[in-house]
Structures are given as structure tokens and as C-alpha cells.
Homo-oligomer: A and B are copies of this chain.
Amino acid sequence: MNRGRGLVQLYTGDGKGKTTAAIGQAIRAAGNNFKICFAFFFKDFEKHPTGESQILENLGITLYNVVLEYPWNKESYDYENIRQECLHALYFVKNKIYTENFDLVILDEINIALRDKFLTEDEIIDLIQKKPKQTELILTGRGATEKIIQEADLVSKIEKIKHPFDQGIGERVGIEY
């Protein structure tokens, strides 16, 4: 379906609401029969299923794990391996996802790859600039830089005013995952 030019949306900042906003956007788009791809960086939803993943899949949304688990154990991880995995993810987005005529493509937590220096600004900018013209592209995650913000058409910075984590309340099922 030709919907005209798709824009680039960016959700960044340290508050809760970036991935959930992308999920909400996917649901709204799905209700309008968009063809949607939700690509997860650093979230292995097959190993650690989330409340949202099964519902998104049931709605016909294509899910991809483009980069597997986040390297929580900074002392033992192999930087170069993760760098290669992220580069492969860029290749996969450009050569597979971008060729499948999606109306909406979500690259969830991709900004983390920039923040943690697994990808460079230029590599992400290249990915943004190569998106198919009609595709709406959403990038989420903390760590978006000025240059990435310049490339986007819509930017929301989600500021944490309060978060229960700071009160010692841990991750809650149905809320954080």
C-alpha cells in the first residue's frame, strides 16, 4: 500500500516509555493494516519471552531478533563479537528488512548500540538514510546523539522524573517485560 513518504521517529531519554511507545505505535498501525516489522536489538525474545512479543506476532507483525542478549557481564564479554553481531544486524536491516515493503519498521533499542560504541554514528545515519522512502522508521533507546536527532523527523525525549527502580522496586512482570 502506498502511504506516501514515511518519516523517521526517534524515542530516547532515560524515562520509561520508549519501547512501549513503539509497541503502541505498532498496534495503532496494525489496526490500520500496515505491514510491520519489529526488530529487537539486545533482547532475545525467544529465550526470554515478553508479554508483548506473542501478541505482536499474533497480529501478523514480523518480529526479528537482530542482536541477541545485552552483554550485562562487561568483564567477560568479547567486544569484537558484539560489534560483528551489530554490523550483521545493519546488513540484515538493509538487505532483508528494507526489501520486504514494510510500512513500519521498528529498530528497538538500536540507540544502545551507539551509546555502548558497538556501532558508530555514521553507521546508524547510513541506515536511516537508506530506508525505503515509503517506510516509517522508528528508533528507540537511550543514547541518541545530536547528529542522530538531526536525521529524524520526530524526536521525543522521555525524561525520567520518577521511576520505581529508584525506590528499590525491581522489574515487574506485565509492566517491564
Interface residues of A (CB under 8 A from B): 3, 7, 9, 11, 13, 15-25, 27-32, 34, 50-56, 59, 103-104, 136, 149, 152-164, 167, 169, 172-175, 177
Q: A32 with B173: in contact, given A24-B24, A52-B24 (CB under 8 Å)?
A: yes
| Copies held by the complex | 2
Query: Helix, strand, loop or mixed for chain A's interface?
Result: mixed
Q: Are B27 and A17 in contact (CB under 8 A)?
A: no
Q: Which residues of B contact A25 (CB under 8 A)?
A: 20, 24, 175
Q: Are A161 and B169 in contact (CB under 8 A)?
A: no
**In this complex, what residue of B is CB-closest to A22?**
B24
CA A158 to CA B140, docked complex, whole Å:
13
CA A131 to CA B97, docked complex, whole Å:
44
Q: How many Å from the CB of A59 to the closest CB on chain B?
A: 7
Q: A152 with B157: in contact, given A7-B169, A55-B27 (CB under 8 Å)?
A: no
CA A28 to CA B171, docked complex, whole Å:
13
With beta carbons under 8 angstroms apart, the residue of B31, B50, B53, B136 that contacts A55 is B31
